[in-house]
């Protein structure tokens, strides 16, 4: 739904257009609301009339069914019609809840305490997270989670193809990780994981991150995805070893020869090893009793030359 100022004459410029809900989403919501009203009214009216016909006259049962179906259909129409607004409120739910809590706490604190105590409490609440590095990192990490949810919504609205009705995916929640943030997203019909894999570099630019990874968060539901947004590398950090504390600093150093590491190798410089084969003893030919060599035994059928041809 858009709100714009009319064009003025005499060369004055218009103030521009402020878009809250896209026109395509507005038309789709109106069409779906009408269908929801008709289906809900017909189904509930028929069921109510059938149940009432068991107790009253059928004609009276029809009036009872109509009286029950119209409010139920109107409720379904209202829920579907305001769904774009509910989704917009869902996107800003953490900020709204945080603002309400802070405003309520400030009002209660200023009402029930004197001004010095109020200022002291505010200084402690704001100063302790800013002074303690661990708390400060946690606060910054959760702030980035809030920012990333809106940056992903900008990605889906600007350069990621949505469905024909123009409805964007439902961005659920985000949590901090050691390298960045992790966001869970539920896709609407018209998008898949393959459509997002080719746009990860653009998503990283929009989210002010170094890289973005996306994968399925559920084996049984392809629409449920998980975005891992990386801002830093934890594997490049310096890790201290406890072995350095075990070494005695007063221990004398031992002189060891410096090993010579060859930088090049020539084949003539390599000495080929000499391999000596063992000498097999010669077998003496067997002789007969009269000193003559025995005649060779005739070959059997297994040694027939025709078998080797």
Give a yes or no: residue 4 inside a domain: no
CATH number for the domain harbouring residue 147? 3.30.980
pLDDT attached to residue 100? 94
My answer on whether 68 and 138 are in the same domain is no
My answer on whether 41 and 100 are in the same domain is yes
My answer on whether 146 and 186 are in the same domain is yes
Give a yes or no: residue 294 inside a domain: no
Residue 2 has pLDDT above 60, yes or no: no
My answer on whether 162 and 217 are in the same domain is yes
- Name the DSSP class of 170: E
59/305: higher pLDDT: 59
Q: Residue 164 sits in which domain range?
A: 132-236
pLDDT attached to residue 215? 93
Give a yes or no: residue 287 inside a domain: no
My answer on whether 102 and 173 are in the same domain is no
What residues have CB less than 8 Å from 233, skipping those under 6 apart? 179
**How far apart are alpha carbons 222 and 185 in whole angstroms?**
11
Reported as a single tens digit per residue, the pLDDT across 254-290 is 666 666 666 666 666 666 667 777 776 665 555 555 5
Give a yes or no: residue 293 inside a domain: no
Give a yes or no: residue 252 inside a domain: no
Burial 52-70 (b: 16+ CB within 10 A, else e): bbeeeeeeebbebbeebbe
Give a yes or no: residue 296 inside a domain: no
| CA angle, residues 39, 45, 50, in degrees to nearest 5 | 130
Reported as a single tens digit per residue, the pLDDT across 191-232 is 889 888 888 999 999 999 999 999 999 888 999 999 999 998
For the chain, what's the residue count? 309
pLDDT attached to residue 159? 83
My answer on whether 99 and 138 are in the same domain is no
167/149: higher pLDDT: 149
pLDDT attached to residue 212? 93
pLDDT attached to residue 103? 92
**How far apart are alpha carbons 239 and 280 in whole angstroms?**
63
Mean pLDDT, residues 91-105: 91
Computed on alpha carbons and rounded to an integer, the radius of gyration of the chain in Å comes to 42
Q: Which residue in 124, 151, 122 sits closest to 135, CA to CA? A: 124
Reported as a single tens digit per residue, the pLDDT across 238-254 is 767 777 777 777 777 66
CA atoms within 13 A on the CB side of 185: 29
Q: How many domains does the chain have?
A: 2
Residue 13 has pLDDT above 60, yes or no: no
pLDDT attached to residue 290? 56
Q: Which of 118, 150, 172 is the last residue in one of the domains?
A: 118
In this structure, what token pair is assigned to residue 73? 């259909």
My answer on whether 109 and 43 are in the same domain is yes
Residue 297 has pLDDT above 70, yes or no: no
Give a yes or no: residue 87 inside a domain: yes
pLDDT attached to residue 38? 92
CA 122 to the chain's CA centroid: 37
Residue 97 has pLDDT above 60, yes or no: yes
Q: Which of 96, 118, 140 is the last residue in one of the domains?
A: 118
pLDDT attached to residue 143? 93
What residues have CB less than 8 Å from 28, skipping those under 6 apart? 165, 166, 167
pLDDT attached to residue 284? 59
Residue 99 has pLDDT above 90, yes or no: yes
pLDDT attached to residue 147? 93
pTM of structure: 0.60
Q: Which of 221, 236, 251 is the last residue in one of the domains?
A: 236
What is the sign of the dihedral through the CA atoms of 234, 149, 185 and 157? negative
My answer on whether 111 and 153 are in the same domain is no
My answer on whether 108 and 136 are in the same domain is no
pLDDT attached to residue 234? 72
What residues have CB less than 8 Å from 68, skipping those under 6 apart? 44, 45, 48
3-state helix, strand, coil in the chain (%, to 5): 50, 10, 40
Sheet with 170-177, side-by-side order of all strands: 170-177, 180-186, 224-230, 211-216
My answer on whether 96 and 164 are in the same domain is no
My answer on whether 159 and 114 are in the same domain is no
Sequence-ordered alpha helix ranges (H) in 183-309: 193-197, 200-206
CA atoms within 13 A on the CB side of 223: 11
CA 54 to the chain's CA centroid: 54
My answer on whether 226 and 149 are in the same domain is yes
Residue 306 has pLDDT above 60, yes or no: no
13/147: higher pLDDT: 147
In this structure, what token pair is assigned to residue 25? 């989403």
Give a yes or no: residue 155 inside a domain: yes
Q: What percent of the chain has pLDDT over 70?
A: 72
CB 150 within 8 A of CB 190: no
Mean pLDDT, residues 82-106: 88
Long-range contacts of 129-135 (CB under 8 A, 24+ apart): none
pLDDT attached to residue 152? 92
Mean pLDDT, residues 38-46: 92
């Amino acid at each position: 739904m858009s709100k714009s100022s009319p064009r003025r004459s005499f060369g004055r410029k218009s103030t521009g257009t402020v878009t809250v809900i896209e026109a395509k989403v507005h038309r789709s919501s109106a069409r779906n609301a009408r269908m929801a009203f008709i289906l809900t009214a017909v189904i509930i009216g028929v069921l109510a009339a059938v149940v009432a016909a068991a107790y009253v006259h059928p004609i009276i049962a029809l009036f009872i069914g109509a009286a029950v179906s119209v409010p139920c259909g109107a409720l379904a129409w209202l829920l579907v019609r305001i769904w774009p607004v509910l989704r917009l409120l869902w996107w800003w739910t953490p900020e709204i809840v945080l603002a309400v809590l802070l405003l309520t706490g400030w009002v209660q604190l200023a009402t029930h305490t004197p001004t010095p105590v109020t200022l002291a409490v505010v200084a402690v609440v704001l100063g302790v997270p800013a002074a303690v590095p661990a708390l400060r990192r946690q606060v910054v990490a959760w702030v980035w989670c809030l920012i990333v949810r809106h940056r992903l919504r900008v990605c889906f609205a600007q350069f990621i193809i949505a469905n024909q009705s123009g409805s964007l995916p439902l961005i659920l929640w985000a949590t901090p990780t050691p390298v960045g943030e992790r966001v869970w997203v539920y896709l609407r019909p018209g998008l898949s994981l393959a459509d997002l894999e080719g746009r990860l570099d653009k998503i990283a630019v929009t989210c002010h991150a170094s890289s973005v990874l996306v994968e399925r968060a559920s084996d049984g539901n392809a629409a449920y995805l998980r975005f891992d947004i990386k801002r830093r590398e934890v594997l490049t950090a310096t890790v201290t070893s406890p072995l350095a504390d075990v070494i005695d600093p007063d221990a004398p150093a031992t002189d060891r020869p410096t090993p010579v590491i060859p930088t090049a190798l020539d084949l003539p410089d390599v000495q080929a090893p000499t391999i000596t084969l063992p000498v097999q003893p010669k077998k003496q030919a067997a002789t007969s009793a009269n000193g003559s060599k025995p005649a060779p035994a005739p070959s059997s059928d297994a040694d027939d030359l025709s078998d080797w041809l």
